[in-house]
Amino acid sequence: MSEAAPSAAGEQQDSAASLQKIQTLLSAKDDTSRFVGLALLKSVLDNTPELRSNEDGIASLWDSIPQKFLDRLIRTGSKQQAKGTNDMLDLAVSVLHTFTALLPERSKQDSKLVSRIPQLVACLLYCSDDTARLVLEALVSLVNQPEGAKVFDTVDDLSTLTEIAPVQSLVLDTLFYAWLGVMATTADKRALSSKIDQTVGALVVSFRGTDGVTLLKFLGNLLPRLDPELLPPNPTWLPSLAKFVRDLVVSRPTADGRAAFANLSAALLEVYPIQAPQLLFADNVDTKSPTRSESPFAFLLVNLLLIDIRSTIPTLLEQLNSPSYSVTAQRLTSAYNIVSNFMGYLLRALEALDSGESSNNQWIMKPDLLLKLRTSISETMSLTAEYLRDRWDASIAGAMGLHPEARTGAANESGVSHFTLAWDSKSVHSSQDPLILAAIRTLAIWLREDDGEQLRKEAAGLSDMFVDLYQTSSSPEKGLDFKRPVLVAFEGILEERKGKEAFLENGGWLTLVDDLCNILQASSTISDENEAARGVEIVRNLLRVAEAEQPGTREDWMDLVTKAAAWAVPDQKQPPMVEECQVAVLQLATALLVNAHPGLRRRYTHSTSAIIGIATQLRDKVKKDRGLVEALSDVLETLAALRQ
């Protein structure tokens, strides 16, 4: 030990002397000495671990490098690249890359560092592949900082980046972090939108002749995150992106390729709901294309996604806390969203065909393929219902079918309260998992639109989950909102007797009535058309239950009649949807009174009179809407007959 101490002290003295020599060389007047000092500095940093971890020492060394010398080194090196000499450029980039990695986060926003961004972008034209990689790694680190993103936004010519993007994937990371970083601070949204539009167009051109997987992955992550005002309204590159997706789908893609086209397709359907369905689902592919398939593209796309869901869902529960879950869940979420969008597109196409607005050559696919797809969707939705049942039981009770009374004691983990018998993802509770929302939305649409009796009976077993999710749903600003998908699901489930029974047994009536009464009361002062539209959907479901109840209306259901009778009609004119919701509530109250036992009905004579008065006031307010006037007239006639 006595010999080791002097040795360590000697090494420290040598290191200090080296650093002093380097700083002396860097402060010299001639560029040759500075170049030597910079080369020595790079060598010392690469070979002295203790110095690399010394933030103050690194900051001091960075301060000793003259800014103008770095700029001159990059410019001169770039000019000499054509002559085969790139030592200057390589060294300058290497040093910048090293300091970008070693400097503390606060220093990465200093002007001396971020102001090099435009030069780094420009010099890519003259860099070797290895040096280009270092440039891009430095850029990714710098644009992750707010100041770096702002400086990057001042660079007008990004062609040096877009041209090498197919072979340097870090280009896409640079653009991703830079645009998201500047999005929250820029005042000129139109200019940024135009730059994004032009750059994405240039990227699409650069990726021609490739499978485009990295490009699709990049845009699938970027587009849903952009503010709506930053999205180009009708970009010319949309058809080219759709072609990338089409070519990838028919080429038996790898797992990475499947995730890329699924995530991008879902993103396009979300941000371009008018253009994207036509591009992805209509059979308008060039018949001369080498990737042209005998089956319509929509069939290939949806069928491939359904196969992916069916092959993955059965083993997904055991992956909840594995590192791969987030990637798998994102891909399946996209798959569900595409399938649900396709269902909507198919329904619109059927309506257009029935109304004569669509010609035969615009039809999506032949009947035999539609039948195959229907069978495939039904099988997938059955597996989806099974997965939802297992996932919900795991998160709430810990075992399928375990009675709610077994939920003893509460626990709290990662800010999520749950029962001690339950287990779920440690990071994303099932009620906040986008995959669960996407799966329920897709299942709900299919339950409503398809006449599959067996699937509706299976889904009836999910009524407790649907009611629970409805009760705990947050507003879209705070979290996931399951209310509308649940209402759509109940439209299908309530077609079956078993569905009505499950709905009532799990508190569905009380849950929906409470929400409906809140919407009605709020409509007196706030004209929220989204809330009103949900109110109309609630009434549609409750009417189906109320009219089918035998031997008549349950006594506790009459609470809705009391609350409707106490409602105050607003003085001001309101939007049509809000008025439709108000009329729908009166129709529901009327149905409850009509189906009630005469003895029970007599106890609500005063409420009946109040509802007649309310209906009369509303009819005067909506006299220009023939449909609402007829509905209110029917309410008045029916209630008047009950009083006789």
Do 540 and 420 share a domain, yes or no? no
Residue that wins the pLDDT comparison between 497 and 292: 497
Q: Residue 260 falls within a domain, yes or no?
A: no
Do 465 and 548 share a domain, yes or no? no
Q: Residue 39 falls within a domain, yes or no?
A: yes
* pLDDT at residue 405, rounded to an integer: 52
Do 313 and 405 share a domain, yes or no? yes
Identify the domain boundary among 152, 177, 198.
152
Confidence check: pLDDT of 625 > 80:
yes
Do 454 and 571 share a domain, yes or no? no
Strand partners, 413: 416
Do 398 and 433 share a domain, yes or no? yes
* pLDDT at residue 419, rounded to an integer: 46
Q: Residue 52 falls within a domain, yes or no?
A: yes
The SS3 of residue 208 is: coil
Do 87 and 112 share a domain, yes or no? yes
Do 310 and 442 share a domain, yes or no? yes
Q: Quote the pTM value.
A: 0.88
Least confident of 100-104, 309-313, 548-552: 100-104
Q: Sort residue 474 into left (φ over 0), alpha (ψ -120 to 50) or beta.
A: beta
Identify the domain boundary among 433, 462, 492.
492
In this structure, what DSSP letter does residue 568 have?
Answer: P
* pLDDT at residue 478, rounded to an integer: 57
Do 395 and 428 share a domain, yes or no? yes
Q: Residue 607 falls within a domain, yes or no?
A: yes
Quick one: average pLDDT of 147-171? 95
Q: Torsions phi, psi of 11, nearest 5?
A: -65, -40
Digit-coded pLDDT (tens) for 530-581: 999 999 999 999 999 999 999 999 999 999 999 999 999 998 889 999 999 9
Digit-coded pLDDT (tens) for 435-455: 999 999 999 999 999 999 999
* pLDDT at residue 411, rounded to an integer: 46
* pLDDT at residue 57, rounded to an integer: 77
Do 513 and 400 share a domain, yes or no? no
Number of domains composing the chain: 3
Q: Residue 164 falls within a domain, yes or no?
A: no
* pLDDT at residue 198, rounded to an integer: 96
* pLDDT at residue 41, rounded to an integer: 78
Do 522 and 607 share a domain, yes or no? yes
Helix or strand run (H / E) with residue 629: helix 626-643
In percent, the amount of the chain with pLDDT more than 90 equals: 62
* pLDDT at residue 460, rounded to an integer: 96
Do 522 and 466 share a domain, yes or no? no
Give 483's contacts (C-beta < 8 A, 6+ positions apart).
Answer: 470, 473, 515, 534
**Structural domain of residue 19, as residue ranges?**
15-152
Q: Residue 162 falls within a domain, yes or no?
A: no
Q: Which pairs count as long-range contacts for 69-78, CB under 8 Å and 24+ apart, including other chains?
A: 69/26, 69/31, 69/34, 69/38, 70/95, 70/96, 70/116, 71/116, 71/119, 72/31, 73/31, 73/35, 73/38, 74/116, 74/119, 74/120, 74/123, 75/119, 77/123, 77/126, 78/122, 78/123, 78/125, 78/126
Residue that wins the pLDDT comparison between 56 and 573: 573
Q: How far apart are CA 471 and CA 466, in angstroms?
A: 9
Q: How confident is the model at residue 262 (pLDDT cuts 50, 70, 90)?
A: very high
Digit-coded pLDDT (tens) for 216-227: 999 999 999 999
Identify the domain boundary among 465, 492, 519.
492
* pLDDT at residue 5, rounded to an integer: 46
The token duo for 264 is: 């991008």
Q: Residue 398 falls within a domain, yes or no?
A: yes
Q: Residue 231 falls within a domain, yes or no?
A: no
Do 521 and 428 share a domain, yes or no? no
